[in-house]
């Protein structure tokens, strides 16, 4: 019996098409064969609905197994930047990805993920970034699903000088594992200088992904990158010019706050109310000379900084932190100097913590001077990082300018005045027409409502009022009909009412509907913004029922927590909810972007 040809049953080509294929075959290279294979495969998938019954379910299920979801959870923008880099890296390796900010991630569908990469920073006392709080609460709760089919990897960003270094990444890693997920790669906890760690991690993770026996579709060409208007970044900042540098607190104020205006007319910079301005600062020459003199180091000594050989003075000016002491600096200095007092301090963690808080770097060196080599000094210091300041202007109003509001950090220690590195540079050393290196740090989690008729409630203390100035300028230029309510607190009315004339003008012309002010030092009993929230609870709840969005800007460890407690009290007192239900309601507002915070 003649063997049956397998093509006899179903052969999709006529004889003339077969001849055409043979002609193409004779004239193609191996690369062209591969290209044609992919080309026809793609066409087949596009038209598969005509050939296969119930195709959507089949192909959609298959596609989810081939997508790597990359989630960024950032406090200062570093995690977002790395997530974008890793997304591009995988795309270049023909991997299909889904790049998403944690605030936009539908975390209730995490059970459907096959591959997940989380790049997350840590803030405050080991807490997740503001934008990741809802995801964090969900994944730690009893509502979190089993993740037995998930492969994951976590890249944690932090500062090793803090006790709870990269704690957010550690928490997610532990919880994912508890829920049954499998690690593609062990968690990486990265310090400030993370570039080398990132490069190795990204290569190792790609290798690990390739070992999993699931094919990947070609890369998704959807553009997930930031709008290309802002060509300047943290590593390639713009050089701008100071237009105004003015103190805006009173002569007798306990605070020193500066309003700074910067010219960006010749720069391709676009920003949105809610964004932050990144500033690269320089250390004080006086401080540098004091440190070098105490350590018997010549200012012209050469040191190696990355791939450059520069003077130690230049390195301290632009590359290293000098105003913040840390446990690791104390430990390294004690090891080099063999100082008995410092060695005793570092043997007790509690004593070491207290010493770091009370003793700036300069004071430590002054108390225990020692002749060091220039390279020894460089090796104990932390890399300098840019500082982020909430933008206090709307580009619709100021056009070619960007404004920031800077609270100067001042401490008197052992009879000497110590200034914060960035705030001291901005307030004391920068003059009109001086140059400054800047970049825009987008903050899509602190945005005005798209519906301009919605009411907003703004809650701030101190320099936290900065972004709300930009909000009001934008609402004014947009002709927004929504009501606006500001809660603001500071020590004294006469000395500390930041942008007083502007807020009073907003109130007078009807743009600002209501202003609730709390002056903590103007009477015997201290009054804070949380007291004003409770005092106006009934009306505030009415605004929320009308769809109001709530914004909070200020200190994370104290003010923001006290405000949240006050809001929960208002919810429970003015509705049928108890405290637990109020907490769930507030979290729901957060998920719906009706409760947004910019805390520091």
Residue 75 is labelled as binding a ligand: yes
Same domain? 78 vs 194: yes
Out of 96-110, 151-165, 222-236, 435-449, give the one with best mean pLDDT: 435-449
Residue 528 is labelled as binding a ligand: yes
Residue 229 lies in a domain: no
Provide the token pair at 129. Answer: 């970034």
Say which CATH number the domain at 520 has: 3.40.50.80
Residue 406 is labelled as binding a ligand: yes
Residue 160 is labelled as binding a ligand: yes
Residue 446 is labelled as binding a ligand: no
Residue 158 is labelled as binding a ligand: yes
Residue 416 is labelled as binding a ligand: no
Residue 352 lies in a domain: yes
Residue 500 is labelled as binding a ligand: no
Same domain? 274 vs 325: no
Residue 116 is labelled as binding a ligand: no
Residue 226 lies in a domain: no
Same domain? 69 vs 138: yes
Say which CATH number the domain at 75 has: 3.40.50.360
Residue 330 is labelled as binding a ligand: no
Residue 34 is labelled as binding a ligand: no
- Other C-beta atoms closer than 10 Å to the C-beta of 541 total 17
The answer to whether residue 527 scores a pLDDT higher than 70 is yes
The answer to whether residue 376 scores a pLDDT higher than 50 is yes
Residue 124 is labelled as binding a ligand: yes
Residue 147 is labelled as binding a ligand: no
Residue 18 is labelled as binding a ligand: no
Domain boundary among 336, 355, 380: 380
Residue 521 is labelled as binding a ligand: yes
Residue 482 is labelled as binding a ligand: no
Same domain? 256 vs 194: no
Domain boundary among 176, 211, 246: 211
552-567 per-position pLDDT tens digit:
999 988 999 999 999 9
Same domain? 368 vs 427: no
Residue 424 is labelled as binding a ligand: no
Residue 338 lies in a domain: yes
**% of the chain at pLDDT higher than 70:** 86
> What whole-number distance in Å separates Cα of residue 595 and Cα of residue 592?
8
Residue 463 lies in a domain: yes
Residue 527 is labelled as binding a ligand: yes
> What whole-number distance in Å separates Cα of residue 8 and Cα of residue 15?
13
> What whole-number distance in Å separates Cα of residue 425 and Cα of residue 121?
27
Give me the pLDDT at residue 162, please: 84
Same domain? 78 vs 153: yes
Residue 274 is labelled as binding a ligand: no
Same domain? 66 vs 205: yes
Same domain? 336 vs 374: yes
Give me the pLDDT at residue 29, please: 56
Residue 463 is labelled as binding a ligand: no
Residue 392 lies in a domain: yes
Say which CATH number the domain at 369 has: 1.20.990.10
Contact of 553 with 457, CB cutoff 8 Å: no
Give me the pLDDT at residue 416, please: 78
The answer to whether residue 135 scores a pLDDT higher than 90 is yes
Same domain? 545 vs 426: no
Q: Whole-model pTM?
A: 0.76
Closest-CA residue to 560 (of 528, 587, 583, 589):
528
Residue 451 lies in a domain: no
Residue 225 lies in a domain: no
Domain boundary among 360, 380, 400: 380
30-50 per-position pLDDT tens digit:
545 555 555 554 444 443 333
Residue 329 is labelled as binding a ligand: no
Residue 562 is labelled as binding a ligand: yes
Give me the pLDDT at residue 143, please: 83
Residue 242 is labelled as binding a ligand: no
Question: How many domains in the chain?
Answer: 5
Torsion of CA 29, 32, 34, 40, to 10 degrees: -140
Residue 390 is labelled as binding a ligand: yes
Same domain? 486 vs 567: yes
Provide the token pair at 112. Answer: 């459907």
Same domain? 83 vs 145: yes
Residue 453 is labelled as binding a ligand: no
Domain extent at residue 34: 15-46
Residue 382 is labelled as binding a ligand: no
> What whole-number distance in Å separates Cα of residue 433 and Cα of residue 408?
21
Same domain? 373 vs 479: no
């Amino acid at each position: 019996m003649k063997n049956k040809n397998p093509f006899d049953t179903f052969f999709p080509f006529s004889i003339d098409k077969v001849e055409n294929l043979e002609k193409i075959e004779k004239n193609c290279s191996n690369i062209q064969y591969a290209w044609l294979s992919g080309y026809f495969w793609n066409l087949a998938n596009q038209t598969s609905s005509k050939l296969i019954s119930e195709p959507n379910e089949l192909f959609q299920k298959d596609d989810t197994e081939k997508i790597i979801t990359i989630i960024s959870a950032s406090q200062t923008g570093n995690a977002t930047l790395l997530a974008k880099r890793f997304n591009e890296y995988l795309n270049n390796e023909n991997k299909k990805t889904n790049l998403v900010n944690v605030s936009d991630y539908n975390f209730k569908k995490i059970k459907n993920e096959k591959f997940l990469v989380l790049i997350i920073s840590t803030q405050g006392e080991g807490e997740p970034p503001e934008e990741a709080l809802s995801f964090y609460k969900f994944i730690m709760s009893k509502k979190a699903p089993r993740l037995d089919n998930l492969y994951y990897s976590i890249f944690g960003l932090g500062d090793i000088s803090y006790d709870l270094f990269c704690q957010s990444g550690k928490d997610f890693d532990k919880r994912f594992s508890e829920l049954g997920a499998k690690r593609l790669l062990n968690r990486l906890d990265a310090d400030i200088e993370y570039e080398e760690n990132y490069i190795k991690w990204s290569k190792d993770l790609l290798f690990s992904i390739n070992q999993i026996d699931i094919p990947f579709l070609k890369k998704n060409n959807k553009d997930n990158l930031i709008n290309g208007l802002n060509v300047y970044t943290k590593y390639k900042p713009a050089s701008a010019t100071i237009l105004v540098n003015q103190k805006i607190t009173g002569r007798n104020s306990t605070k020193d706050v500066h309003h700074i205006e910067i010219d960006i007319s010749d720069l391709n910079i676009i920003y949105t109310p809610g964004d932050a301005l990144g500033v690269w600062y320089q250390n004080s020459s006086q401080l540098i000379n004091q440190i070098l003199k105490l350590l018997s180091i010549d200012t012209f000594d050469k040191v190696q900084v990355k791939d450059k050989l520069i003077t130690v003075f230049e390195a301290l000016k632009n590359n290293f932190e000098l105003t913040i002491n840390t446990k690791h600096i104390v430990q390294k200095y004690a090891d080099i100097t063999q100082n008995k007092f410092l060695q005793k301090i570092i043997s007790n963690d509690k004593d070491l913590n207290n010493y770091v808080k009370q003793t700036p770097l300069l004071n430590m060196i002054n108390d225990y001077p020692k002749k060091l080599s220039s390279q020894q000094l460089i090796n104990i210091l932390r890399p300098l990082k840019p500082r982020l300041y909430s933008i206090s202007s709307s580009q619709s109003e100021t056009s070619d300018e960007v404004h920031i509001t800077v609270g100067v950090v001042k401490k008197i220690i052992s009879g000497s005045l110590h200034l914060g590195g960035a705030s001291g540079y901005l307030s004391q050393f920068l003059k009109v027409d001086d140059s400054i290196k800047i970049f825009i740090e987008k903050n899509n989690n602190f945005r005005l409502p798209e519906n301009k008729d919605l009411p907003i409630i703004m809650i701030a203390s101190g320099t936290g009022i900065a972004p709300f100035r930009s909000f009001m300028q934008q609402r004014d230029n947009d002709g927004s009909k929504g009501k606006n309510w500001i809660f603001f607190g500071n020590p004294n009315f006469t000395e500390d009412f930041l942008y007083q004339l502007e807020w009073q003008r907003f109130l007078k012309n009807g743009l600002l509907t209501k202003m609730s002010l709390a002056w903590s030092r103007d009477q015997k009993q201290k009054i804070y913004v949380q007291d004003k929230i409770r005092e106006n609870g009934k009306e505030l709840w009415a605004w929320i029922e009308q769809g109001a969005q709530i914004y909070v800007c200020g200190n994370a460890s104290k003010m923001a927590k006290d405000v949240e407690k006050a809001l929960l009290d208002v919810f429970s007192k003015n509705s049928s909810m108890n405290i637990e239900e109020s907490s769930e309601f507030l979290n729901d507002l957060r998920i719906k972007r009706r409760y947004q915070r910019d805390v520091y």
